């Protein structure tokens, strides 16, 4: 049996060089990841938030003066309690929905389409912001060590997004392997720094932070409950990314739910230790909020000394994990967008898996929107943070409220009875009272945080997200209505008998008589014997030349010449086709065959009028007319 070898184009060869060779559909089960790789892929966002969560708490408290910074540890502990509540809730979600989907699937199955699309809009917005915030924060670490790069921070950030996009286009398994090294390097270096920091603290050798250009406030604010709540809401950015594992369960090896749950618990434990330790040491070393130097950088200088290799290594590790945090969004955004698209609420293209078994369009879409945010906000983390956490806590609230409804429904079932949902199967659970209490309390807690965040950050930019999420939900439903209308128009349920064609008329618009015209004519005659060739003449001499050539090459086919004294090309042709279409009988088909020559080199298209392209766009506006292009490839042997 002979095989056909297809020569690769230069573009295809370059594409394979960047993202790797194609993967067969059957290779999908082999692209799953272990718990260790899963921690790097799905937990890097949450872990990286420790690099700026403490900064955000101190920035708010510092408005009331340096003395208010002593409250930072209490705020951090309150955030850790909330983290535990959210983790317990999502651990239940992971086992209840082993096929993933997180807040979107939970809300869809238990709360309805409106809450589901709200949760989806919140999460998709959050993932875009995750990339923008993480990359911007990573650049801030670099400019802390190398201030001369500060004016170029936007370009550095955009370059990082390009690299992240290319690596993720290679596939989940490869990107996980590539990014696991920086993640564990960060964990090792941060753990070592915390150990040294506590050793110096307990031995009285922890040096105070010096040489910091602290933030300047024109007026000292009163230390009010509102200010403390604002600091709490800012620090809650440490919880961003907790939901990522529940969205990406299908990426884990079997048993998927158990591996995903274990990864979630490990992530929470590590996150809590780092967050508490860095906030505690920052308070003991007298770290101050600054626009030019991060808390990690200040602690590194206090523990190791300015310019020490370990200080630079800590900043390098922190920068890497902040950049890797964007990988969580790259892993989850395309999956969630594909779920939305599969349900008909986003363009169907987002369900497409590319040659590397990843959702290519989703990855590229994420990169484009994140790049736009970085340009608009100048890669400033503080400017982006107010937009960040509202969507996260909205999805937390909807997810936990949905789980509470699920357990309530389970309580109504009898032992052995089942109720099938789109995303899972309900069974009677004897522990439903405990589970519903956990999820209900978590829903209330995260809802309160969401409201606090929206109120305290509203004037700082949170209003954008407050307006954006309802707008996205509206767009989702408009897309859904389009797909429903399209399905109704295409349905054969009430179509009746297949129509019979009584007459098939073909019109071939030509700009001249050449080989491409004759090839299109051969095709047209194979379709029907009723063929009319139409030419738009802009001057009498042109008409005479066309008619003379047609006498020789026309083979008796009708030629209709349209005079165009105003030198218009497309308009007279469209008027003629519309007049023919208006006189059609029932069951009469009208086909427009458009000749188009294809140069051997693509750039040669710039040297021609592209008449076929103009005709195609003009004819697309006509209803119930078939448009067919017949290409003629220049330079081919015939």
Phi and psi dihedrals of 498, rounded to 5? -60, 135
Q: What is the pLDDT at residue 38?
A: 81
pLDDT in tens, 27-67: 444 457 778 888 877 778 788 888 778 888 898 888 888 88
Mean pLDDT of 583-607: 79
Query: Tokens 């951090």 correspond to what residue?
Result: 76
pLDDT in tens, 377-401: 888 776 776 676 778 888 889 988 9
Identify the domain boundary among 451, 482, 513. Answer: 482
pLDDT in tens, 93-134: 888 888 776 788 889 889 989 999 999 998 898 889 888 887
Residue 428, domain member (yes or no): no
Q: Are 460 and 552 contained in the same domain?
A: no
| Burial of residue 77 (number of CB atoms within 10 Å: 0-12, 13-18, 19+) | middle
Say yes or no to pLDDT of 322 above 90.
no
Question: What mean pLDDT is reported for the chain?
Answer: 82
Q: Give the residue among 633, 628, 561, 629 at the shortest CA–CA distance from 597.
A: 633
Residue 421, domain member (yes or no): no
Residue 494, domain member (yes or no): no
Q: Are 615 and 526 contained in the same domain?
A: yes
Q: Are 454 and 520 contained in the same domain?
A: no
Q: Are 280 and 313 contained in the same domain?
A: yes
Mean pLDDT of 276-292: 88
**Whether the Cβ atoms of residue 247 and residue 399 lie closer than 8 Å to each other:** no
Q: Are 295 and 358 contained in the same domain?
A: yes
Q: Are 475 and 509 contained in the same domain?
A: no
Q: Are 455 and 575 contained in the same domain?
A: no
Residue 23, domain member (yes or no): no
Query: Tokens 């651990």 correspond to what residue?
Result: 91
Q: Are 606 and 469 contained in the same domain?
A: no
Q: Give the residue among 545, 538, 576 at the shortest CA–CA distance from 560.
A: 576
Query: Tokens 């308070």 correspond to what residue?
Result: 283
Phi and psi dihedrals of 362, rounded to 5? -65, -40
Q: What is the residue-wise DSSP string for 418-475?
A: EEE-SS-EEE--TTHHHHHHHHHHHHHHHHHHHHHHHHHTGGGTHHHHHHHHHHHHHH
Residue 419, domain member (yes or no): no
| Rounded-to-integer distance, Cα 418 and Cα 382, Å | 49
**Whether the Cβ atoms of residue 410 and residue 427 lie closer than 8 Å to each other:** yes
Range of the domain at 581: 503-633
The model scores a pTM over 0.95: no
Q: What is the pLDDT at residue 500?
A: 65
pLDDT in tens, 167-207: 888 765 565 666 688 888 999 999 999 999 999 999 988 88
CATH number of 622's domain: 3.40.50.620
Q: Are 474 and 537 contained in the same domain?
A: no
Identify the domain boundary among 447, 482, 517. Answer: 482
Residue 130, domain member (yes or no): yes
Mean pLDDT of 135-142: 80
CATH number of 377's domain: 1.20.1740.10
Residue 415, domain member (yes or no): no
Q: Are 546 and 462 contained in the same domain?
A: no
Q: Are 507 and 474 contained in the same domain?
A: no
The tally of domains found in the chain comes to 2
Residue 89, domain member (yes or no): yes
Q: Given pLDDT bands bounded at 50, 70 and 90, which one contains residue 270?
A: very high
Q: Give the residue among 6, 9, 18, 21 at the shortest CA–CA distance from 357.
A: 21
Identify the domain boundary among 482, 516, 547. Answer: 482
Q: What is the pLDDT at residue 29?
A: 46
Strands, DSSP E only, in 240-393? none
Q: Are 513 and 390 contained in the same domain?
A: no
């Amino acid at each position: 049996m002979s095989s056909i070898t297809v020569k690769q184009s230069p573009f295809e060869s370059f594409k394979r060089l960047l993202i790797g060779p194609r993967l067969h559909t059957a290779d999908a089960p082999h692209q799953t990841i272990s718990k260790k790789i899963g921690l790097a892929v799905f937990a890097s966002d949450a872990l990286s938030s420790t690099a700026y969560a403490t900064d955000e708490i101190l920035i708010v408290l510092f408005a009331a003066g340096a003395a208010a910074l002593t409250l930072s540890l209490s705020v951090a502990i309150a955030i850790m309690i909330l983290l535990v509540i959210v983790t317990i809730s999502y651990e239940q979600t992971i086992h209840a929905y082993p096929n993933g989907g997180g807040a979107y699937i939970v809300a869809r199955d238990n709360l309805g389409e409106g809450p589901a699309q709200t949760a989806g809009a919140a999460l998709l917005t959050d993932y875009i912001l995750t990339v923008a915030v993480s990359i911007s924060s990573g650049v801030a670490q670099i400019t802390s060590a190398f201030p001369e790069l500060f004016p170029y921070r936007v370009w550095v950030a955009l370059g990082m997004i390009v690299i992240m996009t290319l690596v993720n286009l290679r596939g989940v398994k490869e990107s996980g392997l590539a990014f696991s090294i920086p993640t564990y390097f960060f964990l090792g270096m941060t753990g070592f720094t915390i150990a040294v920091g506590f050793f110096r603290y307990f031995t009285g050798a922890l040096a105070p932070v010096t040489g910091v250009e602290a933030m300047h406030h024109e007026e000292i604010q009163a230390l009010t409950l509102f200010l403390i709540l604002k600091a709490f809401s800012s620090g809650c950015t440490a919880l961003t990314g907790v939901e990522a594992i529940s969205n990406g369960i299908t990426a884990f090896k079997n048993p998927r739910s158990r591996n995903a749950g274990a990864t979630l618990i490990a992530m929470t434990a590590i996150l809590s230790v780092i967050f508490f330790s860095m906030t505690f040491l920052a308070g003991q070393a007298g770290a101050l909020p600054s626009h030019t130097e991060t808390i990690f950088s200040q602690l590194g200088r206090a523990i190791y000394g300015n310019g020490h290799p370990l200080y630079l290594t800590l900043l390098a590790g922190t920068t890497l994990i902040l950049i890797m945090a964007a990988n969580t969004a790259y892993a989850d955004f395309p999956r969630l967008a594909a779920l939305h698209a599969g349900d008909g609420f986003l363009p169907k293209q987002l369900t497409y898996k590319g040659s590397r078994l990843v959702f290519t369009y989703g990855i590229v879409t994420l990169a484009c929107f994140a790049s736009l945010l970085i340009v608009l906000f100048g890669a400033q983390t503080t400017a982006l943070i107010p937009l960040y956490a509202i969507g996260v806590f909205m999805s937390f609230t909807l997810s936990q409220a949905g789980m509470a409804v699920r357990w309530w429904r389970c309580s109504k079932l009898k032992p052995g009875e089942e109720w099938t949902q789109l995303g899972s199967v309900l069974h009677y659970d004897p522990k439903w009272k405990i589970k519903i209490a956990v999820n209900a309390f978590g829903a209330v807690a995260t809802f309160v945080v969401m409201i606090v965040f929206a109120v305290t950050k509203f004037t700082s930019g949170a209003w954008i997200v407050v307006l954006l999420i309802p707008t996205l939900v509206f767009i989702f439903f408009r897309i859904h209505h389009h797909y429903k209308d399209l399905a109704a128009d295409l349905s054969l349920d009430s179509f009746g008998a297949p129509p019979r064609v009584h007459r098939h008329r073909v019109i071939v618009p030509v700009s001249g008589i050449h080989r491409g015209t004759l090839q299109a004519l051969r095709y047209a005659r194979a379709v029907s014997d009723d063929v009319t060739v139409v030419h738009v003449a802009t001057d009498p001499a042109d008409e005479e030349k066309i008619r003379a050539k047609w006498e020789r090459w026309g083979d008796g086919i009708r030629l209709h010449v349209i005079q165009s004294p105003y030198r218009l090309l497309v308009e007279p042709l469209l008027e003629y086709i519309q007049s023919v279409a208006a006189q059609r009988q029932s069951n009469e088909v009208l086909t427009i065959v458009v000749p188009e020559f294809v140069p051997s080199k693509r750039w040669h298209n710039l040297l021609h009028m592209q008449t076929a392209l103009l005709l195609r766009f003009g004819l697309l506006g006509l209803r119930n007319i078939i448009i067919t292009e017949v290409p003629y490839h220049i330079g081919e042997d015939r």
